[in-house]
Each structure stands twice: as C-alpha cells, then as structure tokens.
C-alpha cells in the first residue's frame, strides 16, 4: 500500500488530459459531482417544463407525447443520473479519506464506472433527438415499453436508446458497487473495525450492498426488455402475466432503489448533525443497526407498489406488515438525530441548515409514507399526487441533505470557504421554494399524476406549486455563484475549518494531498496516527491533530518510487465505445443485431495477437491468433452472405448497423488494451480487513460480482418460473409444440462439467509451475467451451429453423432462448478471456503460487457459469 501512494504521475490539473486519464478517486469524485450537477440542471429544466404545463388544466406548452417524455425523462434522470451519482461523487472523494485508503481498490475500474456513467448521459441526451425519448414514465410499465405494443415509430428508436442508456448506467453502478465493497472491506486503516468507520462510509457501504443486488435485478429486467426490442421476445407483451411480471421485477429493484438514493443522505445527516451539534451521535450503535436492518428489509417490501394489481390478499397483508415494519427503524434514526441536537453546541452554519431542512422534510415524507402503507388508503392514493408529494418529500430530502454535504466538504475539496451569507440565502430560498412546490401537492392530491388535466378548482394550488418550483430552481443559481466565486477567494481554510469534527478527512490538509495522507493512517493506538511510510510497521511520525501541510509531505513520500503509471486512457475509450454501441443498437434492425458482435470476434482475436506480441514479445501463439482470425472472418462473411446476401445485406444495412460495428470493434480493442496495460495496485499491507482478511482484493471483487450475477440469472429464472406458473406449469411444454431438447442438454451438461474440471487442473498445474500442462488444460477448457457452443448452435438451429420455433413464437420460446442465450453469452465471454489467458500463459505468465491467481479468478467465473447451467439443465431441459 505504501508504495502505491506516491505521486501517480498524472498530468497537471490545469490540463484537459488530466481529467480524461485520471484514476485518482478525488479527481473522479469531482467529475462525478460536476456531471451530476449538470444532470440536475437538465432534469430540473424538465421539471420546470412540467410545472409550466400544469399552470392551467389542459396544459400550456406541450402535447400529450411531449409531456410524457418530459415527465419520464425528468424522473429517470433525477433518480438515476442525478441523485445517486451526486452522492457517489462525495463517496468517491471521501470514503477512502474516511477509512484511511489511498484510493479505491480498483482505480481504473473506478474511472471506467465514471466514463460509462458519463457516456450513458450522452446516450440519453441523444435519445431526445431520435424522434422522441422514452415516454412511459420512470417506472417503464409494461407492455407500453415494448415495441410491438407501442408501435408508433416516433417513440421507437429514442425510447430504446433511453433504455440502453439505463443499461449502461446499471453497468457503471455494478462496477462501482464491486469497487466500493472491496475497498471498504479491504483497505481500512489499522484499528478501524467495520463498526468504527464513519457514518457516511457506513451508509455508503450499505448503499452499495443494496446496489449490488437490486441493480442486478434491474439489469435482468432491462435485458429482457432489450430482447423484446432487438429480437422480439414476448415476455412483457404476452397476455400471460407479462405486465405483472414487469411490476415485480421493477419494484423488486425499485424499492431498494429508493433507499439507495436516500441512504447516503442519512449518513451525511449523521455526520453533519454530529459536527454542528458538537455532540456525538446519540445511540450510534442503534442507528447503524437500524440502517442495516432497513437495507435488508428493503428487499421484501416491493409489492406495496402493487396493491392494485392482481396480487392476492394474503401477500398484500405480508407486504403491508413488512412496509410498516420498515418505517420503524427510520423512526429510530430520526429520533437519534434529534436527540443528538439536544444539549449540543449548535452552530447554524449552512451545512447544518440544510441538514435540518432535510430532516424536517424527511419527517413529512416518512409520515405520508405510512399513509401509503395502509393498503386501503393506498388504493385511493395510488397514481395520484399524494404519491408524487410523498416521494418528493422523501427523495428530495436526500438531495437537500447531499447539498448540505457539498457545503460541508466544499472547504475540504477546494481549500476555500464558501460565502456563509449566500449559503444561508440559498437555504432559505430553497426551503421556501421546496415547500411551496411540494406541499400544495398534498392539498391537491386528488390530481392524477402524470396527467395535465385536473379539476379547475385546484388551479390556484397548482400555480403556487409552479411558482415554488421557480424559486426552488433559482435558489441553485445562488449556490453555483457562491461556490465558483469562493473557489477564487482568499478564504483559505485549515485542515478542519469546522469545530467538533472527528473523522480522518479532517486530519489532512485542505485540499488533501495527492496521496491522501502524510503517512500510513492507523488507529491501532486508539486514536489516529500517521505512520512513517518507509517503515510501515515502524514508529509514529505525525500526530493526527498536527497534520503537516500537504505539499511538503508529498515531496517526502515520492521517494519510494513505483513505476506504475496511474494515468490510463482505456476507461475513457471503453466508455466511448459503449456509447457508440448504444447508439447503434438503438436503431439497428432485428436481423442485423448479432452481426456486429460476430464480426468483432475475428478482430478481437487478431488484436489479441498483435497486442500480445507487442507486450510479451512475438511468439507462435500470437501468429496463430492472427492467422486464425482470417478464416473466422471469412466464415462469418459466408454466413452473412447466406443470411442477408453480401452486397444487398451491406447495402440495406442502416447507419445504425455501422455505428454498432465501430462501437463493438472499438470496445474489443480497448478492452484488450486495458487488459495488457500494466497497472499495479499492490494489496494493502497494513490494513484492517475483517471479515475478508485472507481474501485478496481481486478475489473479493470477483465474488461480489458473482453475487450480483446470481441475482441476474436468478431473476431470469424467476421470471420463467413466474411465467410458467401463471400459464399453468404442466401445460407449458404441451402448448409449446416442440419437444424439450433433453439429449443435447445432457451432452452440454457433461461438456460444461468437464470444462470446469479441466480449468481446476489448469490452476493446479499453474501453481506447480508446469507451463505445458497448464496450457494444455486451459486449451482443453477452451475446446470444451467451443464444443458446448457448437452443440448449442445445433440445438438452436434445429428448433429455430427446422421447427420454426422462433423467439416470438410463444412465451416458452422467449424464455428458453433468452435464458439459455444469456448463459451462452457468458460462455462466449469466458472463451474470449481464455484466449487472453492462453496467450499469456504461452509466453510464461501465471506460473507459481501468487501469479496463478489470475487463473483462479477466471476459474471462479467459469465455475459460476457452470453452476448456472446446472440449474438451467433441469429447468429448461427436463421439467
């Protein structure tokens, strides 16, 4: 850990290049904050359009489709692209500083999360110009969200682009969750037990746990939805429970999601109230326990959004109970915050005011939530402004708290103090505006939401709300002005401009030094010390309270040089390639959809040869890859010719087809580039790592990723079970008009099990440094995978062409093709990684106890894919 802490050789901050190549968590934190504020402005503008439309019943400026787009985009952008990234900007910056880590566990992955996030906003932006963006509400209810039902050509491409943008966002979130979990578990300062980390970091930890699982469920829903668009499966369009299935998938994700956006705010409230009350949080232990409880419970309340669907009374009762149960821990947390203020030494600084405001607002949001938990009341509130008002009081309370956090940490990030008067003015305007905007919504709660026709008797209240919106929006100008202006002021701050701070970020200079700490932080002695880096386990150097000035320390610690360069272009480039792919897919037509991906395969293989030769020196294997790519390409061209006719096919392909190809090819090349880049992040040596002490960071990362993948496949299998149960379990295959492919299924089970066995053997021999056998078993695994794919193709071709059982024939076909197809995609990805591993092994990599770990991690992935198959086999081939 100590070595990696030296100067990361990043270009200076004044250059654009710095911000494109940086992997420093503080830089990326700032990028997140700025980008999310951009989204806030964008989504806020849309909100003003909504309120303008509501000025009179019947609308002022937009037509029906326009209004639906605005409402949907506003909700999607605020919930996904603003709130969480806003909080995660702060998390990126401060979690490592609070727990004593030099950076996140995987800095390049962190940069990749950011760039995929940024480019997903761009894709969302593009969708506005593709006829119309998504217009089905942020909850995207089915079957309005599928192309066959909403066949209007204006909403097609843009609507799908927005869905793809959300899919990109989910990818970014998943990478981020894996990263934060690994960091928090593996890189805490000595003496900092899990329960000891500061409240904000705890709240982020629980947030990423929820994200890891909840977003995987959303990903499953989006994968299905994308399949409906691309290949015409009929999950949601089917009359057989498709619409209800969507609500289950959506809300299984959606309820945790509303806590995901709120949790960081709770942590911040804890920090801010504690600091500005000058009193340690009352009942901290219970506060934390309540947080953890809520995080777990959030996964078993989702049907309270579905009280009016076809779900039965017993299940409604269960979900009413869990819903009410979940409000109680919140209750406790609110009281803990309140009692912390009592007997405090409260300073009414801007951050405190925002925290206070957020608390008040949240109390109202929580109380009105309890109304909704009472099923009978919900029957009437569902789909009205009561819900709108409730969740704005709850969610926007999160935004208000995070703004408090921005003021709280602004001096730490910039080294300058904001203008207190303007800060207070911002608060007053925002608070007044906020309540003028949302409180009337309770009064006019009978107005149906997402509708711009309302009872004219309510006009006055709606106008008050519109005026409130204008004030609320304008108040932010004060903040922007204040913060920008203050950055260039002479109000320099010390390490801790606030009194009664406690956590580590306040013990370093403002802004913090590039390597975060003047020495290796440790709490081993009972309070914070920075230990000499050159002798990690040596004596103490600087005391926490007397932290030295950042610049000097930076010089002192650059000594232990580490050649690894912490600048990387690949995250940016990979992000960009996903944008291109997203744009391309949004408009590609079904018959063309797979071709860009197939054509990328030979490029991938050839480029693997080229890059490998550059990196490891030319070897036979690289030549073999290059050579093999040509016949593969030729084969694909022949197949393409058979499918579309070569010239006509290319001629008729739309630009979207070509954009997709550019995107996927660039994606393949940049991924290989990143794979071959040397980027060394040593395992932390002096750190608290319970309960993952013996697990290396990458392995922990892999396991958390597998955790989320379990949900992804589980949700797909769950959808199948739901659909089949709804249809009639026993009638399912009879209705399908094809026979289960039990024989091929068995063969593939054998093959995949064998490949699991061979990859284990490869690892065994890699540890024994037996290169020949390692290579042999790796290759055997690859061959096994190839045979699996071949067998699978034959099975599909048989069913698809010969029996005419296509994706959209029926629900049985859709679930079968999509679930086994997702699995096959995982196998294919595994094969591509294996090609990389084989090339590296060939040139001597991975031999020995430590080095073989890469093969071990890959093995984890491969075995997981095998396990999935162990369930798909009975579910789709036997039962």
Q: Interface residues with ligand HEM (CB under 6 A)?
A: 139, 258, 261-262, 304-305, 323, 327, 330, 366, 369-370, 372-373, 378, 381-382, 387, 390-391, 394-395, 398
- CA-closest candidate to residue 309, choices 141, 436, 166: 141
Q: Where are the alpha helices (DSSP H) in 374-458?
A: 375-381, 385-414, 420-443
Pick from another protein, ligand HEM, Cu ion, none: which does 96 bind, CB < 5 to 8 A by kind?
A: none
* 8-state DSSP, 686: S
SS (H, E, C) 702-718: HHHHHHHHHHHHHHHHH
Q: Is 392 in the site for another protein (CB under 8 A)?
A: no
Among 311, 428, 464, 556, binds another protein (CB under 8 A): 311
* 8-state DSSP, 147: T
- C-alpha to C-alpha distance for 828 and 822, rounded to whole angstroms: 10
Of 258 and 336, which CB lies nearer to ligand HEM in the complex structure? 258
Q: Is 649 in the site for another protein (CB under 8 A)?
A: no
Query: Smallest distance from the beta carbon of 337 to another protein, in angstroms?
Result: 8
Among 131, 675, 718, 744, binds another protein (CB under 8 A): 718
Of 422 and 610, which CB lies nearer to another protein in the complex structure? 422
> Checking phi first, is residue 12 left (phi over 0); if not, alpha (psi -120 to 50) or beta?
beta
Task: Check if the beta carbon of residue 752 is closer than 8 Å to that of residue 780.
Answer: no
Encoding tokens for residue 620? Answer: 């036979």
- C-alpha to C-alpha distance for 109 and 96, rounded to whole angstroms: 15
Of 370 and 738, which CB lies nearer to another protein in the complex structure? 370
Q: Which of residues 846-865 bind another protein (CB under 8 A)?
A: 859-860, 863-864
Of 230 and 273, which CB lies nearer to ligand HEM in the complex structure? 273
Q: Please give the residue ranges that form the binding site for Cu ion (CB under 5 A).
A: 255
Of 373 and 411, which CB lies nearer to ligand HEM in the complex structure? 373
CA atoms within 13 A on the CB side of 868: 27
CA dihedral of 259, 186, 670, 868, whole degrees rounded to 10: -70
Task: Check if the beta carbon of residue 193 is closer than 8 Å to that of residue 104.
Answer: no
Q: Is 540 in the site for another protein (CB under 8 A)?
A: no
* 8-state DSSP, 202: H
- C-alpha to C-alpha distance for 428 and 425, rounded to whole angstroms: 5
Pick from Cu ion, ligand HEM, another protein, none: which does 135 bind, CB < 5 to 8 A by kind?
A: another protein
Query: Smallest distance from the beta carbon of 80 to Cu ion, in angstroms?
Result: 16
Task: Check if the beta carbon of residue 88 is closer than 8 Å to that of residue 208.
Answer: no
Task: Check if the beta carbon of residue 398 is closer than 8 Å to that of residue 262.
Answer: yes
Of 307 and 846, which CB lies nearer to ligand HEM in the complex structure? 307
Tell me the residue nearest to ligand HEM as measured from the CB: 369
Pick from ligand HEM, Cu ion, another protein, none: which does 190 bind, CB < 5 to 8 A by kind?
A: none
- Beta partners for residue 22, in sequence order: 567
Query: Smallest distance from the beta carbon of 322 to ligand HEM, in angstroms?
Result: 10
- C-alpha to C-alpha distance for 105 and 561, rounded to whole angstroms: 20
316 to each of 240, 302, 322, 383, 594, how far by Cα in Å? 21, 10, 10, 18, 42
Q: Is 692 in the site for another protein (CB under 8 A)?
A: yes
Query: Smallest distance from the beta carbon of 851 to Cu ion, in angstroms?
Result: 48
Query: Smallest distance from the beta carbon of 375 to another protein, in angstroms?
Result: 5
Pick from another protein, Cu ion, ligand HEM, none: which does 576 bind, CB < 5 to 8 A by kind?
A: none
Encoding tokens for residue 402? Answer: 């995070």
Pick from Cu ion, ligand HEM, another protein, none: which does 5 bind, CB < 5 to 8 A by kind?
A: none
Pick from ligand HEM, another protein, Cu ion, none: which does 336 bind, CB < 5 to 8 A by kind?
A: another protein
Of 68 and 113, which CB lies nearer to another protein in the complex structure? 68
Query: Smallest distance from the beta carbon of 210 to ligand HEM, in angstroms?
Result: 12
Query: Smallest distance from the beta carbon of 725 to another protein, in angstroms?
Result: 5
Q: Is 730 in the site for another protein (CB under 8 A)?
A: yes
Binding mask 476-505 for another protein (x = CB under 8 A): ---------------xxxx-xxxxxxxxx-
- C-alpha to C-alpha distance for 660 and 585, rounded to whole angstroms: 6
Q: Is 767 in the site for another protein (CB under 8 A)?
A: yes
- CA-closest candidate to residue 588, choices 144, 161, 222, 225: 161
Q: Is 736 in the site for another protein (CB under 8 A)?
A: no
Pick from Cu ion, another protein, ligand HEM, none: which does 297 bind, CB < 5 to 8 A by kind?
A: none
Signed CA dihedral, 195, 196, 198, 201: sign only? negative
Pick from ligand HEM, Cu ion, another protein, none: which does 262 bind, CB < 5 to 8 A by kind?
A: ligand HEM
CA 408 to chain centre: 25
Binding mask 128-147 for another protein (x = CB under 8 A): -------xxx---xxxx---
- C-alpha to C-alpha distance for 28 and 19, rounded to whole angstroms: 8
Encoding tokens for residue 270? Answer: 């804890």
Tell me the residue nearest to Cu ion as measured from the CB: 255
Of 366 and 544, which CB lies nearer to ligand HEM in the complex structure? 366
Query: Smallest distance from the beta carbon of 256 to Cu ion, in angstroms?
Result: 9
Among 13, 17, 285, 485, binds another protein (CB under 8 A): 285
Of 393 and 410, which CB lies nearer to ligand HEM in the complex structure? 393
- C-alpha to C-alpha distance for 614 and 677, rounded to whole angstroms: 11
Q: Which of residues 439-458 bind another protein (CB under 8 A)?
A: 446, 448-453
Query: Smallest distance from the beta carbon of 368 to ligand HEM, in angstroms?
Result: 8
Of 198 and 365, which CB lies nearer to ligand HEM in the complex structure? 365
Encoding tokens for residue 462? Answer: 């709606």
SS (H, E, C) 406-417: HHHHHHHHHCEC
- C-alpha to C-alpha distance for 544 and 508, rounded to whole angstroms: 8
């Amino acid at each position: 850990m100590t070595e990696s802490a030296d100067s990361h050789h990043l270009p200076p901050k004044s250059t654009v290049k710095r911000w494109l190549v940086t992997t420093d968590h503080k830089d990326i934190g700032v990028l997140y904050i700025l980008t999310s504020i951009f989204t806030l402005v964008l989504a806020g503008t849309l909100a003003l359009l909504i309120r303008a439309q509501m000025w009179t019943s019947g609308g002022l400026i937009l037509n029906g489709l326009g209004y639906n787009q605005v409402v949907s985009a506003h909700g999607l952008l605020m919930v996904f692209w603003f709130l969480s990234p806003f909080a995660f900007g702060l998390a990126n910056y401060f979690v490592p500083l609070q727990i004593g880590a030099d950076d996140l566990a995987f800095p390049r992955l962190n940069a990749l999360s950011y760039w995929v996030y940024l480019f997903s906003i761009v894709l969302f932006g593009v969708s506005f110009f593709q006829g119309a963006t998504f217009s089905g509400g942020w909850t995207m209810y089915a079957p309005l969200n599928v192309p066959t039902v909403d066949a209007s050509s204006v909403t097609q491409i843009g609507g799908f682009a927005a869905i793809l943008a959300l899919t990109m966002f989910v990818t970014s979130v998943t990478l981020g969750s894996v990263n934060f979990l690994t960091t928090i578990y593996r890189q805490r300062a000595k003496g900092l037990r899990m329960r000891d980390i500061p409240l904000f970091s705890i709240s982020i930890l629980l947030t990423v746990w929820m994200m890891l699982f909840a977003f995987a469920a959303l990903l499953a829903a989006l994968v299905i939805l994308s399949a409906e668009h691309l290949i015409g499966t009929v999950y949601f369009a089917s009359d057989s429970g498709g619409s209800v299935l969507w609500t289950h998938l959506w809300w299984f994700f959606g309820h945790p999601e509303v806590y995901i956006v709120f949790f960081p705010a709770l942590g911040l409230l804890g920090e801010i109230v504690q600091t500005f009350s000058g009193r340690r949080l009352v009942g901290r232990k219970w506060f934390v326990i309540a947080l953890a409880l809520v995080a777990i419970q959030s996964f078993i309340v989702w049907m309270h959004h579905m009280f009016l669907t076809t779900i039965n009374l017993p299940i409604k009762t269960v979900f009413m109970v869990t819903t009410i149960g979940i409000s109680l821990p919140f209750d406790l947390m609110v009281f803990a915050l309140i009692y912390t203020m009592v007997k405090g030494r409260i300073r009414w600084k801007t951050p405190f005011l925002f925290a206070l405001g957020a608390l008040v607002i949240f109390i109202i949001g929580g109380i009105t939530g309890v109304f909704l938990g009472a099923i009978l009341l919900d029957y009437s509130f569902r789909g009205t402004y009561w819900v709108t008002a409730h969740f704005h009081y709850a969610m926007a309370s999160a935004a208000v708290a995070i703004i408090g956090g921005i003021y709280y940490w602004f001096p730490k990030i910039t080294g300058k103090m904001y203008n207190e008067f303007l800060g207070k003015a911002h608060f007053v305007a925002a608070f007044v505006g906020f309540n003028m905007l949302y409180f009337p919504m309770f009064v006019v709660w009978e107005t149906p939401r997402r509708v711009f026709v309302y009872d004219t008797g309510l006009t006055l209240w709606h106008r008050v709300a519109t005026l409130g919106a204008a004030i609320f929006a304008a108040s932010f100008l004060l903040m922007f002005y204040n913060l920008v202006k203050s950055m260039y002021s002479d109000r320099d701050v010390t390490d801790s401009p606030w009194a009664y701070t406690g956590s580590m970020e306040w013990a370093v200079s403002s802004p913090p030094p590039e390597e975060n700490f003047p020495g290796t932080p440790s709490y081993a002695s009972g309070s914070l010390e920075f230990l000499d880096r050159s002798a990690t386990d040596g004596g103490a150097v600087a005391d926490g309270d007397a932290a030295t000035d950042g610049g000097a320390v930076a010089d002192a610690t650059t000594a232990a040089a580490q050649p690894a360069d912490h600048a990387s272009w690949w995250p940016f480039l990979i992000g960009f390639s996903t944008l291109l792919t997203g744009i391309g897919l949004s408009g590609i037509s079904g018959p063309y959809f797979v071709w860009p991906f197939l054509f990328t395969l030979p490029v991938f293989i050839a480029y693997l040869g080229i890059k490998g030769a550059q990196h490891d020196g030319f070897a036979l294997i690289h030549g073999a890859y290059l050579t093999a790519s040509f016949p593969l390409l030729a084969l694909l061209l022949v197949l393409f010719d058979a499918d579309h006719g070569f010239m006509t096919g290319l001629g008729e392909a739309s630009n979207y087809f070509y954009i997709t190809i550019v995107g996927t090819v660039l994606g393949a090349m940049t991924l290989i580039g990143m794979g071959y880049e040397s980027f060394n992040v040593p395992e932390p040596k002096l750190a608290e790592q319970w309960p993952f002490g013996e697990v290396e960071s990458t392995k922990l990362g892999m396991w958390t990723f597998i955790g989320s993948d379990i949900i992804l496949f589980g949700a797909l299998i769950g959808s199948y079970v739901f659909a089949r149960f709804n249809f009639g379990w026993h009638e399912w295959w009879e209705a399908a008009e094809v026979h289960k492919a039990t024989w091929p299924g068995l063969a593939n089970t054998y093959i995949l099990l064998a490949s699991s066995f061979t990859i284990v053997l490869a690892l065994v021999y890699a540890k024994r440094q037996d290169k020949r056998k390692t290579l042999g078993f790796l290759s055997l695994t690859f061959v096994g995978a190839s045979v699996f794919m071949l067998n699978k193709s034959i099975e599909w071709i048989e069913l698809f062409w010969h029996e005419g059982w296509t994706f959209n024939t029926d629900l049985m076909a859709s679930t079968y093709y999509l679930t086994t197809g997702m699995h096959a995609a995982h196998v294919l990805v595994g094969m591509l990684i294996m090609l990389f591993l084989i090339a590296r092994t060939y040139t001597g990599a991975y031999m020995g106890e430590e080095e073989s770990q890469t093969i071990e991690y890959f093995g984890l992935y491969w075995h997981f894919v095998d396990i999935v198959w162990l369930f798909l086999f009975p579910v789709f081939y036997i039962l």
